[in-house]
Every structure is written in C-alpha cells, then in structure tokens.
Amino acid sequence: MTTTLYLSHPASLHHETAPGHPESSDRIRAVERALEDERFSILAREQAPLASEADLLRCHSRDHVERLRGLIPADGRLVEIDPDTTVSMGTWEAALRSAGGAIRAVDEVLEGRAINAFVAARPPGHHAERGRAMGFCFFNNAAIAARHAIHRHGAERVAIVDWDVHHGNGTQDIFWDDPNVLYCSTHEMPLFPHTGDMGERGEHNNIVNIPLTPGTNGRTYREIFDLMVVPRVDSFRPDLIIISAGFDAHWRDPLANINLTENDFSFATKRLLDIADRRCKGRVVSVLEGGYDLEALQRSVAVHVEALLGG
C-alpha cells in the first residue's frame, strides 16, 4: 500500500479570476513548487478525474448545478456571481476536477490503496452551500467527498475538520441536519462570511464552531485545538477524517488576522493523524481550501504533506 496520494489536475490553472484576485492559479503553482522537493518523491501522484452530476447532487440542488453550468462563458470573459466570485471558460472543468479529486481520494483511501491523501483543489469549496456559490467556491469538495464515503463506501461516520481562517458556511449548511457527519471549524470571528457562532450546533449537535479572536497565536491555537477539536473528533469515532485544509490562518496571509505559523498546521495535522490511527486505520483525506500568501501557502503545504507522509 502506498502511503500518501497527491491528486491535482492542470485544469485548475484554467479557472481564471480578475487580475489581483487572491484566489489565483499561482496558488496551485505554489503547491506544486512545495512538492517538488526531494522529500516528496515518494508521493503517489495522480490526476484528478471529473466528478459526475450525481456526485454533485448529493450535496447541491439541481437548480444550483444547472445555474452554474449556464453561467460559463464560451469566450474569455469573466462572469460575476458576486464581487468575490467569478466564472470563466475554464471554471466548469476546474470545479469538477476539484470535486472529482476529493472523490478519488476517498476511493483510494477507503479501498486501501493509500493510507491518506492530499488534494490540490482549485477552486476551493467550503463556502459553497446547497444552492449557492460564494466566497470563491462553486461546489463543496469536502462535503461531496464525505457524502461519497457514506453512499458509495458505507461509512457510518465522517468527521470534517476545517481549519481555514474563514468559517465553512457551506459545509455547515449541507450537514446541519446530518447525524452521520461531524463538522468542526476553527475560524476568525468577526470575518467573512460572518457565520460560525459557537451557538450554531446543528440539528444533532454535530456542528462544532470555535471562533477565534483576531490576533490569536499558535500557542493559544494549539491549546484550543487540544481542548475543543481533538476530544470531539475522537469521541465521534469516525470511519474517515476529511480536512478542509485552508492555510490562511498563517500570520503572513493578507485576508485575515490570525497569527499561526506553518508549524501550527503541522501540529494540527499530526493530532488528527493520531485520532485516525486509533479510530479508522489512519484514513485521512485533506482537501485544499484557502491560503493567499504564496510563500506561506508553499511552506504550510510542505509541512502538512510531510506530516501525512509520517514526517
């Protein structure tokens, strides 16, 4: 069995955004640079396949899928969904590859061909709600992967841990009334999308929101993670852990005010791997979300994937 699988696709470079937009194709180039290092030569590498419409409909309404498909321009224009979120000619394939990569990662991990996986997903997904694209996101890659694990592989409990600095309102929306999925989010508050209060707990107490005050540092974050995330995920006894791996809580990131370093992401990764080793044979799928300072993203992805490899 291979250890860690890395999934990406060149189509991610063809989802275009306006000049100066933080969610640019340079993010994927930064990830690729990080994983060119010799220590990552043992990664198993595959291209992400396309998600099917049936895959998308496990989490999104048909109206949402058709509306987005209909917005894709046939030329080089950008079509605005909201001031942050635009589609281009390459967006549809890129979004399907992002979701498809997360699905393939679940297949490979749950069928025993990889112990864990990292998906370089662009566009990201955790702001995409059942019926709405927003916040740079079109389809909710982590949520689609979780539903795939349940419906195609019979997983009874999937835990999603989201350490992106922005709250994953879309993931919360999709799983609000689903007792089979635990959603844990650490995020800065107040900050876009202005959801994720601690009192938002879901219909089955399956939502765990942990708002962080601006300026939170790594020491405080680690204490919070050990006190509030680790026990909830462990007691849930998941069959699979999915990480919404946004790296925009790094101190260098321009879109937020949390002061983590790449070593804090390594810490959080290892904590979740420890739970996975105890509860689900090490099965972890990590899907890229945010992270908009390219140097911070490159360094953070490197330590994250190194931890997945057992380093």
The residues that are catalytic are 127
Radius of gyration over every alpha carbon of the chain, rounded to an integer in angstroms: 17
Residue 197 backbone phi and psi in degrees, to 5: -65, 150
Owner of token pair 């393939």: 104
Q: What is the Cα–Cα distance from 4 to 201, expressed in whole angstroms? A: 33
The set of residues, in sequence order, having a beta carbon less than 8 Å from that of 308 and lying 6+ positions away, is 3, 4, 116, 117, 118, 269, 273, 284, 286
Q: Which residue, 215, 218, 310, 213, is CA-closest to 264? A: 218
Q: What is the DSSP letter of 190?
A: S
Q: Which residues of 151-180 are buried (b: 16+ CB within 10 A; e: fewer)?
A: eeeebebbbbbbbbbbbbbbbbbbbbebeb
Q: Which residue, 31, 165, 156, is CA-closest to 98? A: 31
Q: What is the Cα–Cα distance from 11 to 225, expressed in whole angstroms? A: 35
